[in-house]
């Protein structure tokens, strides 16, 4: 009798174990995986790698990057995000109560279409990096020579190439109490200095239209959420910095729908960067 009880206990444990395995297997099957479609090559002539071709995201990954991403303007996308020849396409994805067709690019951005208009989200937080092939992070803020590095987190240095030959050309940003100081250095000499009143400042050196760099200024609301961004392509001419236009994106409420959305404006302003009056432009 005792042996019979032991045998039944073993059989029961085996059945429970099998059911648990079946449940785990079912969960793995239900976690849908989307594999990227890669065509051609990068605009930089960089060839597709095996890593590119094998890039994929499962449904949990996609939910995480959608939660990490924020709306960006066409200008931010154009100047700040790398474009890869690899996309993951998803039809009928549910996002905030609506159905969208998603296209996730390996360059850390997502285009989504609701049947009427296309919007773009950018995934720029450090947590985003593991999900994409290329990240938004500035690859030129790198290991600089010790003579150019600062131990303070308030100062950042970015490599640029004003003279097409001098590797010591730099853009330097310094955070002060109420403003930022922007400096430009060529041939180991600072030739440009300007104080800028903003909440954060970024330098993008991955340019496409012959500018030396893109100056990105950010402004936040009382809750420290970004409420306005200004993207300024900056050109180097005659040992000075010049601009031709500004791209301004402001978070506001759509008068028709009542939804919060980014409103974009392009302003032509052909002037030396040192003479740019942001207070005047933002008040117009």
| Per-residue model confidence as pLDDT tens digits over 76-94 | 787 778 888 999 999 988 8
Tokens standing for 74?
Answer: 């066409």
Tell me the per-residue pLDDT of 140-150, one tens digit each, with 9 for 90 and over: 444 433 333 44
CA distance 128 to 81: 13
What pLDDT was estimated at residue 3?
54
What pLDDT was estimated at residue 55?
94
Q: What is the rounded average pLDDT of the residues 198-219?
A: 88
What pLDDT was estimated at residue 4?
55
pTM comes to 0.51
What pLDDT was estimated at residue 20?
52
Spatial CB neighbours of 271, under 8 Å, sequence gap ≥ 6: 242, 243
**DSSP 8-state class, residue 48:** P
What pLDDT was estimated at residue 243?
95
How many CA atoms, within 13 angstroms, populate the side-chain half-sphere of residue 212? Answer: 25
Residue 220 CA, distance from chain mean position: 18
**DSSP 8-state class, residue 167:** T
What 3-state DSSP class applies to 198? coil
DSSP H stretches of helix in 69-153: 74-80
Lay out the sheet containing 260-272: strands in order across: 200-204, 213-220, 226-237, 240-253, 260-272
Tokens standing for 47?
Answer: 């060839």
What pLDDT was estimated at residue 152?
43
Tokens standing for 33?
Answer: 């995986």
Q: What is the mean pLDDT of the chain?
A: 80
Q: What is the rounded average pLDDT of the residues 231-240?
A: 92
Lay out the sheet containing 180-186: strands in order across: 155-159, 170-175, 180-186, 189-196
């Amino acid at each position: 009798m005792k042996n019979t009880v032991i045998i039944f206990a073993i059989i029961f444990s085996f059945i429970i174990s099998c059911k648990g395995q079946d449940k785990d297997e079912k969960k793995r099957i239900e976690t849908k995986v989307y594999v990227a479609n890669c065509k051609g090559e990068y605009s930089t002539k960089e060839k597709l790698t095996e890593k590119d071709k094998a890039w994929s995201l499962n449904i949990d990954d996609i939910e995480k990057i959608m939660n990490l991403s924020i709306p960006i303007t066409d200008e931010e996308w154009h100047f700040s995000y790398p474009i890869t020849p690899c996309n993951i396409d998803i039809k009928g994805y549910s996002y905030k109560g609506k159905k969208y067709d998603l296209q996730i690019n390996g360059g850390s951005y997502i285009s989504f279409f609701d049947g009427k208009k296309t919007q773009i989200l950018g995934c720029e937080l450090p947590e985003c990096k593991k999900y994409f092939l290329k990240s938004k992070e500035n690859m030129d803020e790198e290991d600089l020579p010790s003579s150019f590095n600062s131990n303070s987190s308030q100062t950042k240095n970015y490599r640029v190439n004003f003279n097409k030959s001098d590797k010591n050309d730099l853009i330097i940003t310094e955070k002060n109490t109420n403003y930022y100081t922007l400096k430009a250095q060529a041939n180991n000499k600072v030739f440009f200095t300007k104080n800028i009143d903003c909440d954060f400042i970024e330098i993008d050196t991955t340019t496409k239209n012959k500018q030396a760099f893109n100056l990105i200024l950010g402004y936040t609301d009382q809750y420290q959420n970004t409420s306005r961004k200004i993207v300024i392509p900056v050109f180097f001419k005659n040992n000075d910095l010049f601009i031709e236009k500004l791209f301004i994106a402001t978070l506001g409420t759509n008068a028709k729908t009542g939804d919060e959305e980014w409103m974009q404006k392009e302003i032509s302003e052909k002037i030396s960067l040192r003479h740019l009056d942001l207070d005047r432009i933002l008040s117009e």
